[in-house]
Structure 1
Amino acid sequence: MTSQTTATVASIAVADGVDVKRGDLLVSLDDSLALAQIGKDKAAIERDQVTLDQANRNLQRTTALVKSGAYTTQQGEDAQSAVNAAAAVLNVDRAALAADTVALDKLKITAPFDGRLGAFAVSTGALVTPGTPIITLTQSSPVYAAFTLPQENLDLLQKSMAAGTLSVSSRPAGDGGTAMEGKVAFIDNAVNTISGTIALRAVIDNPNGTLIAGQSISATVKAGEKDGLTIVPTVAVQPRTDGSVVYVAKDDDTVTIRKVDVALRVGDKTGLSSGLQPGERVVTEGQGNLSEGSKIKLAGEAASQDGKSKTRGTPVADAGTGTAAAAESVR
């Protein structure tokens, strides 16, 4: 919030950081000059009202004398013109009063909506000019929560949005408390080509002020369900400019890079609609050190009865190449 006029701060009505309601007085600026100007405007209205009243009485007398033939038509028109001029002057006075009343109102800075204050940027006696920052007021309930999702989810998101069922559960990042429910109100009109994500915004009731402006949140969007997906750990899916890939651990302990289609991501699990079959193993760590055909040693490797190795999901270094990798079975 900023000042709209030039004046000195007369008083600050509330403390830093409190919750306020719409219309609550926050800051009063010195209004002595404005009040004097309004007094002058009211006096001018009274004076010019008297002039108009006198002009109307003169018009009545003149009109009667014109009808009797004692006055000429010109004298009657002059009397009417005097009334019109007096009325115009009175209207100017009233307009000046209205303008000065608006100026007076600007000296009272009030809360435009319910919210929570920050810290005041001014103190009593400070001179402010138009645009001088006064204080920041943020709406505390409801709040808008902005987040992004992979563009692969866009079709499902749009269908759920059209059906009115696109909702979100959110909580402060790292907070294991009860999630707050909300509705997704906005899906951006363009995909971020660098990150491959689409921006969304949800409206969330925040009655206790748990969420504050600029805070990081954890959001889970409820957009619907898809059947027939292959589920992998989210960390196994690597984004690229042309889509997403996974590093598949083959039976000969080498990796192959495979392009996949991501259908859904929910927390630490990602659903793939194509590119991978249930039972195949995917690398979950150290992908940046691997290339097509890289030799790996599976984490937690142990011999089985059939001579094949099994994975425990703990990364170990490959003494042969110096790379590190971990693998998990696709479920």
Structure 2
Amino acid sequence: MTTPFPLASLRRPSFFTAAALLFAVLLAAGCGNGDSKPAQPKGVPAVPVTVVEVAQQATPLVVTAVGNVQPQATVQIKTQVGGIIVEQRVRDGQSVREGDLLFRLDPRPFELVIREAQARLDRNRVQLAKAAKDLERYAQLSKINAVAQEQYDKTYAEAKSLESDIQLNLATLERARLDLAYTVIKAPISGNVGMIQVTEGNVIKANDDRTLCVINQLDPVSVSFALPERYLTEVLDMQRSGSVPVEATPASSDAVSSQSGQSAPAREPVRGFLSAMDNAVDTTTGTIRLRAQFDNAEKRLWPGQFVRVGLVLRDKPDALLIPTSAVLDGIQGSYVYVITPDNKAEARQITVDFLSGKNTVLASGLAVGERVVLDGQVRLAPGMTVEVRPQPGAAPQSPQSTQTPQAGQSPQAAPQPLPAAGKGE
């Protein structure tokens, strides 16, 4: 009878076989790149991606912030004399120029005061003329002792008193004329009138607390905004070298037409310059308050409106840039997928210099002309084969706000990036 094998002898070859297979797998994995994922298995189709080439062009550093539009000047129109408003020559929201008539008060009480002051002045002048003649006559009689010295002194005092009265009459008359002039209220500055607070027919007191209306100067206007203090040195350097260009874009530029239902065309930014800087950094927020001035003849900027502000701090003449959507964040920092000449995906660490619009300006990591993946990164791993699908429209372009020419220069077209290329191109 045949003796069967022990169960242990049957299991032993199976254990050693499994161990050998596991060792072979670990050895094969160890021979690969420890920093990358396993290579794409054979037979797996190439991953479709869209790419864009690294472009090189002059790109300025544009710092953005949210600003608030403020009028260049604001005047509250109030009365300096009392009376009834007999004429209103301005309406709500009207545009006025300096010197335009706004309101008129009843002038008749002030005309009467002028007539009274003029009459007192004329009377005192006649009395002074008589006193001067009496004084001259008494002076001659005094020499021969024909008049008492007391009478002479009295006439002299009366003449001097009348001279003082005349000066007082002149001042009173001048004040009455000034009050009459105050009954005509004109615009002290050019601008736009707000809502009328006191209308025709109302009685108002002298130096009344009520405001008739408010005029805001809209051309030019100012925009107030704040920047982090880390930009303070660069802003100061730009100020020393000349005018600092600033752009403001109204936040309503993406408005939709209610009649056509179509999006309104994007508005061009309004261009101005940095006009003032606060004398201290706000220790609470760590920001510095700035003010820019803009010509506003078209009334595109309105007081109280919030705008996007772009401040051009410096230019990088040979900047390397890619769309920001191509940049990924990893444990070791920012990286992108670069497509090699044989259409393999390679993860590449990059150093970001600054952001410019929808683009990222690079400090290091890529060379001009290299292809980076713009769309399809989530399906990629290093070493995978890709199918390149060019997307020329996604090539990075310098943002419109960065094309502001310097003073004395004419605007030039920004150099266009190289087109994306596929396999064999």
Report deviation, 1:195: 3.9
Distance 1:263 1:114, change over 3 A: farther
Once the two structures are TM-superposed, the CA of residue 88 in structure 1 deviates from its matched residue by 0.9
CA drift at 1:34: 1.9
Aligned partner of 2:416 in structure 1 is none
Q: Mean Cα displacement is larger for which, 74-83 or 52-61? A: 74-83
Aligned residue identity for 1:303 = L
Larger Rg: 2
Q: Contact 1:192–1:198 (CA<8 Å) still a contact in 2? A: yes
Aligned residue in 2 for 1:53: 129
- Measured in 1, the distance between the counterparts of 2:125 and 2:274 equals 59
CA contact (8 A) 1:149 1:199 kept: yes
* 2:315 partner SS: coil
**Corresponding residue number in structure 2 for 1:306:** 383
The equivalent of 1:190 in structure 2 is 280
Shift of 1:248: 4.5
- Which residue type is aligned with residue 129 of structure 2? D
The letter of the residue matching 2:200 is: T
8 Å contact kept, 1:152–1:264: no
Which amino acid in structure 1 is aligned with residue 243 of structure 2? T
Which string of whole-angstrom CA distances, capped at 9 and with x for unpartnered residues, describes residues 81-117 of structure 1? 1111001111112222222233323322211111111
Question: Matches of 1:4 and 1:233 in 2, distance apart?
Answer: 62
Cα pair distance change 1:229/1:208, threshold 3 Å: closer
Which of structures 1 and 2 has the larger relative contact order (alpha carbons within 8 angstroms, sep 6+)? 2
Structure 1 distance, partners of 2:272, 2:382, is 53
Equivalent-residue separation in structure 1 for 2:204 and 2:223 (angstroms): 34
Structure 2: runs of 5 or more not aligned: 1-75, 254-265, 335-351, 367-374, 387-425
Alignment correspondent of 1:163 = 241
* Cα separation, partners in 2 of 1:67 and 1:300, compared to 1, 3 Å: same
**What residue in structure 1 maps to residue 218 of structure 2?**
140
The reply on whether 1:224 has 2:314 as its aligned counterpart is yes
| Offset from partner CA, 1:171-207 (integer Å, 9 cap, x none) | 4234333433322111112323444322111122222
Helix, strand or coil for the counterpart of 1:141?
A: coil
- Normalised TM-score (structure 2): 0.55
The amino acid that maps onto 1:137 is I
- Per the alignment, residue 300 of structure 2 pairs with 210
Change (3 A) 1:154 1:214: same
Instruction: Judge which range, 171-180 or 113-122, deviates more.
Output: 171-180
Whether the 8 Å contact between 1:11 and 1:27 is mirrored in structure 2 is yes
Alignment of 1:282-301 (within 5 A): 301=378
Structure 1 segment 70-219 matched on structure 2, within 5 A:
70-129=146-205, 130-175=208-253, 176-219=266-309
Displacement after TM superposition at 1:137 (Å)? 0.4
The answer to whether the Cα contact below 8 Å between 1:26 and 1:111 also exists between their aligned partners in 2 is yes
Deviation of the 1:39 alpha carbon: 1.7
For the structure 1 residues 150 and 17, does the alpha-carbon distance in structure 2 shift closer, same or farther, using more than 3 Å as the test?
Answer: same
One-letter amino acid of the counterpart of residue 190, structure 1:
A
Structure 2 distance, partners of 1:160, 1:231, is 23
How far did 1:40 drift? 1.2
Using structure 1 for the length normalisation, give the TM-score: 0.69
Aligned residues of 1:153 and 1:263 also touching (Cα < 8 A): no
2:139 alignment partner in structure 1: 63
Deviation at 1:153, TM superposition (A): 1.0
Q: Secondary structure at the match of 1:136?
A: strand
How far apart are 1:124 and its partner, in Å?
A: 1.4
Tell me what 1:34 maps to: 110
- Paired with 2:298 and 2:102, the residues of 1 have a C-alpha distance of 22
Contact persistence 1:16–1:120 (CA under 8 A): yes
Instruction: Report the residue type matching 2:152 in the other structure.
Output: G
Contact 1:29 / 1:107 at 8 angstroms: preserved in 2?
Answer: yes
- CA displacement at 1:128 relative to structure 2: 2.3
Q: Name the stretch that deviates more: 77-86 or 99-108.
A: 99-108
Question: Does the residue aligned with 2:209 lie in a helix, a strand or coil?
Answer: coil
Paired positions, count: 275
8 Å CA contact retained: 1:116, 1:137: yes
Counterpart of 2:128, as a letter, is L
C-alpha displacement at 1:233, in angstroms? Answer: 8.7
- 1:61/1:209 Cα in 2 relative to 1: closer, same or farther (>3 Å)? farther
How far apart are residue 155 of structure 1 and its match? 0.6
Identity %: 25
Distance 2:181 2:189 in 1: 17
Question: Unpaired segments of 5 or more residues in structure 1?
Answer: 236-246, 254-261, 280-297, 310-331
For 1:1-56, what per-residue CA distance to the aligned partner results, in whole angstroms no more than 9, with x for missing partners? 22334322211012322221212110112232222222211111111111112112
Q: Is the 8 A contact 1:152 1:263 kept in 2?
A: no
Q: 1:147 to 1:67 in 2, by over 3 A?
A: same
